[in-house]
A and B are shown apart, each in its own frame.
Chain A
């Protein structure tokens, strides 16, 4: 059992009530009463007839209980890992304390310094003594600069 709605007024049509009208263009209209049917056939506009549902909806009559349009659509942001860094490493990085970061930086600098020193030693043993003198001095000074910056 299906309760239809009236095409003119929006009333509910129970079984065995009302009429069904099929227009020339095969469009179906249901009427609950002869009143609705008559007004439809007179080509009245339901939007202007005060007791129809269409009119009431349009003029917002009697809708105080349901507040129109509750806006509660906030998208939740989810943390996602990307190709280069999975979720665990992102969180680990974020939760690293400043101290830990500093220590890591120091370690990296020390490592770089030692590596460079190794490189210098290799170069010194391979190259002849003449260019080494003037080349050595500025290099050491640069290292010192780097060291001073890191040490602060």
Chain B
């Protein structure tokens, strides 16, 4: 249940650490909730420091603090129901940053992701993840 002002950890190597949700894209209204596999618009609240050398490099996919990006939710602390009736919940909320074309910004994922992503069509993320539950 991620909504406005909800914070998520970023688990890819795009450079951001913490993002804050600004809008949940599947809802036409502002007061909706996002769950695993939903796209959100978010603001980067904390990011990894980028050295000057890296700034000039070609692979400058690193995001900065204050950037507005899109992301997909991969873990929620609120339990999600599976088709067999099980409920799965994680310890924290996490997301993976995307660009406007639903492509990942980072290249690697560190941490476990929810298997519900596969059902919502994010197979690329699931395949990159080290562990899927």
Contact = CB atoms under 8 A, between A and B. Distances in A.
Interface of A: 15-24, 26, 28
Nearest to B114: A22
A24 B92 contact: yes
B112 A19 contact: no
B93 to A, nearest CB: 12
Contacts of B87: 18-20
Contacts of A15: 84-86
Nearest to B82: A20
User: For this complex, into which size category does the number of interface residues on chain B fall?
Assistant: 10 to 19
19 contacts: A15-B84, A16-B86, A17-B85, A18-B86, A18-B87, A19-B79, A19-B87, A20-B87, A20-B89, A21-B88, A21-B89, A22-B89, A22-B90, A22-B112, A22-B133, A24-B92, A26-B111, A26-B112, A26-B131
A62 B112 CA distance: 40
Main secondary structure of the interface of A (DSSP, over half): loop
A144 to B, nearest CB: 94
Nearest to A17: B85
Contacts of B131: 26
Contacts of B112: 22, 26
B110 to A, nearest CB: 11
Task: List 4 tightest A-B contacts by C-beta distance, closest first.
Answer: A16-B85, A24-B91, A26-B112, A19-B87
A20 B91 contact: no
A106 B91 CA distance: 91
B111 A20 contact: no
A113 B133 CA distance: 90
Interface in B62-121: 75, 79, 84-92, 111-112
B88 A20 contact: yes
